[in-house]
Structure 1
Amino acid sequence: MKNDQKNFLLFAVLAALVLFGWPYIANHFFPAANPPVTKLEDGRSKPVANPATDPAADTANAIRDRAVVLRETPRVLIETPSVRGSINLRGGRIDDLVLVRHKETIAKDSPPVRLLSPSGTADAYFAQFGWSGTGITPPPADALWTASGAKLTPTTPVTLTTQAGSQRYLMQISVDNDYMFTVRQSIVNTGAQPVQVATYGLLSRRGSPVDKDTMTIQVGPIYEAGNGVKFDVDYKDIDAAPTTFNAKGGWLGFTDHYWMTALIPDQNAQHGLSLKGADQRHQADYRSPTLATLNPGQAMTQSARFFAGAKENKVLNAYEEQGVPYFSRSIDWGWFRVVEEPIFVYLDWLFRMVGNFGVAIILLTLTIRGLMFPIAQRQFASMAAMRAIQPKLKVLQERYKDDKPRLQQEMMALYKTEKVNPVAGCLPTLIQIPIFYALYKVLLLTIEMRHQPFVGWIKDLSAPDPATILNLFGYLDFTPPHFLAIGIVPVLLGISMYFQFKLNPAPMDDMQKQVFGLMPWVLMFIMAPFAVGLQVYWITSNLLTIAQQQLLYSRHPALKQAPAK
């Protein structure tokens, strides 16, 4: 009895450590979910503003108001099905861009996600292309360019022209229906002497990103130099020392949780690529390492591409097929990509069939549980056999309690005689672990899951349940501590686990009974900060397991019978 009390006390202490210490571990290794997009006030669901991108907040914190800065310079409008913005003719910069397919919040009047902003604002972020060399006068950074048209669309490219010294410079800019710009840089030597020319492109970003860089979500510099996408440097690294490398082709830029910018030079030419930073300003750039000689009257054209948009799987895969190597890997699936991508592809297909990601997750669970049903049958058969030999195991434990090696030998002999595999019952759980983790990564990483509603108050399956019980669903004006912010869905998860455990064969050991009695509620607290979609999967899986247990109990009555003594 004393040992049981001691064991139970030890379990209670460990459970408390898990409950209160888990948030600190999870924040680093397993970020729980995206920030909630709604909150409950007086029992009603209301959108949560994004202070980092809300227009009012931007005006208050900016060096200068964005609207004022945009009006200061002549511009060419950008208008496509996916993006809207403008090109700054003062410097020829692509420095004003919003993503029209993605909103900042779920509110009906929410503005689209802003990606690029002009220099002079708090979050300046732009792309610029230029020339360097010997014997030429490159256009200055604030050169005024002349445009061939007033609007850039997928069907109407725009050519920018300027003159500097004895050279004429042109940039023909085109854009597709998604997020890719193509820039054809041309120089005409109108002088009397030969010149040597190289082209470059740069991305400039001011300030710190809103998204956090974690072990699961990569935020910061990104590059590909011929051997796959790399996330091995962060903003602190390039602030301390530039990262430079040479590559044939390749690409580089900056990635956030869902958004990315990338410079993609000519993939058939050698370039020098670099990432650098200082004083909250970061730059990614490429440069031709060799100079081309232009005699008087000669011209040279070099093409590059510029991606600025959302990391949508279908779009990234299409660009990879169009010659941008490893572009789909900018979504950092990690080492488990072989499982995560098929789960995403199937889940996305289900969504397109039914039109609701919550229902798609339920159908995914049904599919997985259906495939695992034969394994579950074997699991229950194994559990029945193990339960039948429990009295014999107890006898062996008493007989050889002081001789552990002999006890192990006798137990293995008993398993062999009775044809019982003690680990067979663990197989379904072991199979579930990679599927569960894959779904966790899909919910966390893919923009296709962002702001996807389910039913009722659940407006974003990739965020935690906002219906916090402790403040009476928003009727009480206070925010519960993180570890007590338990919503309705996590409670349903705990209840489903409780009934599932109740249907399991009761352990013979009292300590095990106490552990299994507390486990559903401990896991309820652990799972509460995770995405609702993950909890929907687990609840559905528990309900299906309960149904399977009821069915399989009818086939294996020994599971319900108390073992003989």
Structure 2
Amino acid sequence: MDNQRNLLVAVVLCGLLLLGWDAGMKWFYPQPAPTTQSATLEASNEAADAAAPGTRTREGGLTDAAAIEQERTDLVTSLAAPSRVKIDSPEVLGSINLVGARIDDITLKTHRQTVKKDSGPVRLFSPQGTPAQQFAQFGWVGEGVAVPDATTVWQASAGPLSETNPVTLSWDNGQGQLFRIALTIDEHYMITADQSVSNAGAAPVVVRPFATVNRTSATASSDTWNVHSGPIGAFGDTVTFGNDYDDVAEAGTITPEGRAGWLGFTDIYWLSALIPEKGTDPAVDFRSLGSNIFRADMIYQPVTVPAGKQFSRTTRLFAGAKDTTVLDGYEDAGITKFGYAIDWGWFAWFEKPIFWLLSKLFSLVGNFGVAIILLTVVIRGLMFPIAQRGFASMASMKAIQPKMKALQERYKDDKPKQQQEIMALYKKEGVNPLAGCLPMLIQIPIFFALYKVLILTIEMRHQPFILWIKDLSAPDPAMILNLFGLLPFTPPSFLGIGVLAVLLGLTMWMTFKLNPAAMDPMQQQIFNIMPWMLMFVMAPFAAGLLVYWVTSNILTLAQQSYLYSKHPQLRAQADKDKEDAELAKARGDGPDGKQSKT
């Protein structure tokens, strides 16, 4: 009766876990609310700016149908203006708005919006006033001198801005000062702006160059406990992830402590950041402008430009994908901790080697799913000697079971003495009772590291495996309850059981069956339930993570079969334990060998 009650409690707790897990996943990974075709289109840019950001998705972007349609309409109008200079580099396509010297049109050539090949490139920057506005601007603050402003129309040298063709913007204030912004772009996502002032007037002038990144939070990706979205920067010796958009909106202005190495805004895969000139110490802050608009400001210290002299200040703008190799390359070139724009967390020291090995395997086989399988094989191969020692320790533990039972019976009324004698027995026989747990403990950081790699690195985004798995960073789309997509509905996450989740539950159940039967019937029941519980829990996770776990379970089965052949006493004992457990169950014995009360 006690075992039945305990089993019932275990089942209830499992059910609560499944429901709680679904609620938690909806909290950490909210999905966009469904929209209808009758949604009203906002007519003005002001109304679009004032609209609520809506539900954020994992990757970010507009989710409201009206805002998406408004964005398309506004882009057609804004980008057709003649006052633009084209940007065309290996990774970036876009344009510069000569009104206000804004870089407000950037799309990423090598990254698609969705897994569909015709979905079009990812748009990172959009002009001011559009629902997805995000742009960078360079300018000056002056004292007693006319400086360009947001309405200034600049003159430009011949475009487009490309890796081999710089573009210079210029504006003469008519008072003897000529302002220039010389722009270059590299083969990736870095735009360099050299801001200069030539003073041909009769008196010195005081100017302060500045740079800003302005964006709406309506397109931000979800900010979760393990992936940051929002303000970011390197200040002092650390990269700061602490503040989100709500923090800035509540405070109005947040001024980070420490010298700025760079600052801007991040999504899970995209980054827009300003990098000041080396050796300078500009004032920086994050500012809320209202209506879900935020700005990262960087303003240099005032400089006096004497008559007949010229002054320049160089600022870099990164606007692109958080490609690990690219970010690390910029860090190696001198940008402080730029590789940590990816939110690796505390275990970067372990996650980066896992990512490095996975990338190397991918370069060999050309398929990230196969690379994950090979990574699993490598990891299990490295762990095999540990597993072998664990099995040897289990064999030794089985061998000393009679002596342990004798000690437990002898000192049953003196628990401290009993424990002391058992420890002495372990030492005498050379047995480590924890050796069998070591492989499992080692698996935990490896599993977490791979989990972070799958959800953080853009290299995993939209990577296919086989057949129906088109994106290893997303959950398995082949859900059983909707007949693999044939029925027009999406099951809730805790019921979204896919093929990989079923394979996970099945292979884990088989590994538990191969293990020696637990002497406690309650433990045995928990082991019987656990694989199927994990099948539900793991279903919403990235498909690549399930590929790893299923492969690991299959290798565990092969490993256990091999090690049982090397330690036949374990196999014999396992069979005997199973027979004893079945016999006890048939007699109705409790876990202590006594008849259960009914």
State the TM-score, normalizing by the size of structure 1.
Answer: 0.92
Q: Tell me the CA shift for residue 95 of structure 1.
A: 0.3
- Cα distance in 2 for partners of 1:354, 1:301 equals 49
Alpha-carbon shift at residue 6 of structure 1 (Å): 3.1
The reply on whether 1:349 has 2:360 as its aligned counterpart is yes
Q: Is the 8 A contact 2:62 2:68 kept in 1?
A: no
Tell me the residue number matched to 2:592. Answer: none
Which amino acid in the other structure matches residue 315 of structure 2?
A: A
The residue correspondences of 1:402-481 to structure 2 (distance < 5 A) are 403-481=414-492
The alignment partner of 1:152 has SS state of coil
Pairs within 5 Å for 1:99-498: 99-166=108-175, 167-241=177-251, 242-245=253-256, 248=259, 250-277=261-288, 278-289=290-301, 291-394=302-405, 403-498=414-509
Question: What is the count of residue pairs matched by the alignment?
Answer: 549
Segment of structure 1 superposing worse, 443-452 or 262-271: 262-271
Cα distance per residue 1:307-363 (max 9 Å; x no partner): 000000111011112221110010111110111000001100110111000110111
Q: Which residue of 2 aligns with 1:12?
A: 11
- 1:245–1:137: structure 2 CA closer, same or farther, 3 Å change rule? farther
Cα distance in structure 2, aligned partners of 1:363 and 1:515? 31
SS at match of 1:548: helix
1:320·1:326 contact (CA, 8 Å) conserved in 2?
yes
- Using the TM superposition, give the Cα deviation of residue 249 of structure 1 relative to its aligned residue in structure 2, in angstroms: 5.3
- The one-letter code matched in structure 1 to 2:380 is R
Q: Within 1, Cα distance between the matches of 2:374 and 2:393?
A: 28
Cα contact 1:80–1:154 (8 A) shared by 2: yes
Q: Deviations over 1:248-272 (max 9, x none)?
A: 5521100000000001111211210
Letter of the aligned partner of 1:17 in structure 2?
A: L
- Corresponding residue SS for 2:507: helix
Unaligned runs of 5+ residues in structure 1 are 36-47
Distance 1:399 1:247 in 2: 66
Bigger mean CA deviation after superposition, 19-28 or 207-216: 19-28
Contact persistence 1:63–1:120 (CA under 8 A): no
- Change in 2 beyond 3 A, CA 1:33/1:494: farther
Q: Specify the SS of the correspondent of 2:219.
A: coil
CA distance in 2, matches of 1:481, 1:464: 12
SS of corresponding position for 2:320: strand
Contact residue 52 and residue 58 of structure 1 kept, 8 A: no
Label 1:4 to 1:414 Cα distance change in 2 as closer, same or farther (>3 A): farther
Maintained 8 Å contact 1:82/1:178: yes
How high is the sequence identity, in percent, across the aligned residues?
Answer: 53
The alignment partner of 1:218 has SS state of: coil
Matched residue type, 2:85: V
The 3-state SS of whatever aligns with 1:100 is: strand
Given residue 20 of structure 1, which amino acid in structure 2 is its aligned partner?
A: L
1:339-390 deviation per Cα after TM superposition (whole angstroms, max 9, x unaligned): 1000001100110111000110111111111111111111111222223344
In structure 1, what residue type is equivalent to 2:387? A
Once residues 409 and 73 of structure 1 are traced to their aligned partners in structure 2, the CA distance between those partners, rounded to angstroms, is 87
Distance 1:226 1:150 in 2: 38
CA distance in 1, matches of 2:259, 2:135: 24
Which of 68, 71, 75 is the aligned partner of 2:80? 71
Distance 2:525 2:399 in 1: 22
Closer, same or farther: CA 317–52 of 1 in aligned 2, 3 Å: closer
Distance 1:67 1:478 in 2: 34
Specify the SS of the correspondent of 1:196. strand
Alpha-carbon distance in structure 2 between the residues aligned to 1:59 and 1:551: 58
Looking at structure 2, the residues matched to 246 and 541 of structure 1 have their Cα atoms a distance apart, in angstroms, of: 45
Aligned equivalent of 2:42: none
Which residue in 2 is equivalent to 1:94?
A: 103
1: CA distance, partners of 2:255 / 2:231? 12
1:133 deviation in Å? 2.1
Q: Report the AA paired with residue 490 of structure 1.
A: A
- What stretches of structure 2 of length at least 5 have no aligned partner? 33-56, 581-598
Q: Classify 1:391/1:507 alpha carbon distance in 2 versus 1 (closer, same or farther; 3 Å).
A: farther
Does the 8 Å CA contact 1:33/1:529 hold for their aligned counterparts?
Answer: no
- Normalised by the length of structure 2, the TM-score is 0.87
Provide the residue aligned with 1:537 in structure 2: 548
- Provide Cα deviations, 1:209-262, integer angstroms capped at 9, x if missing partner: 341111210100001122121111111121122112575552110000000000
- Contact 2:141 / 2:207 at 8 angstroms: preserved in 1? yes
Closer/same/farther in 2, CA of residues 340 and 131 from structure 1, 3 Å limit:
same
Q: Which residue does 1:45 correspond to in 2?
A: none
Superposed displacement of residue 55, structure 1: 12
For residue 106 of structure 2, give the secondary structure of its aligned residue in structure 1.
strand
Distance 1:119 1:472 in 2: 45
- CA gap 1:207/1:371 in 2 versus in 1, 3 angstroms: closer
Cα distance in 1 for residues equivalent to 2:519 and 2:110: 58
Distance, in Å, in 2 between the alignment partners of 1:143 and 1:254 is 26
* One-letter amino acid of the counterpart of residue 99, structure 1: L
| Preserved CA contact (<8 Å) 1:50 1:105 | no
Q: Decide whether the 8 Å contact of 1:246 with 1:273 is kept in 2.
A: no
Partner secondary structure for residue 466 of structure 1: coil
- Please state how far the C-alpha of 1:398 moved relative to its aligned partner: 5.8
Amino acid at match of 1:19: L
Query: How far off its partner does 1:405 sit?
Result: 3.2
Q: CA RMSD in A?
A: 2.5
Contact kept in structure 1, 2:62 and 2:219, CA below 8 Å? no
SS in 2 for 1:254: strand
Q: For 2:229, give the aligned amino acid.
A: V
Cα distance, 1:178 vs structure 2: 0.3
Work out whether residues 33 and 530 of structure 1, in 8 Å CA contact, stay in contact via their aligned partners in 2. no
Name the stretch that deviates more: 186-195 or 425-434.
186-195
Matches of 2:151 and 2:309 in 1, distance apart? 26
Structure 1: distance between partners of 2:418 and 2:4: 25
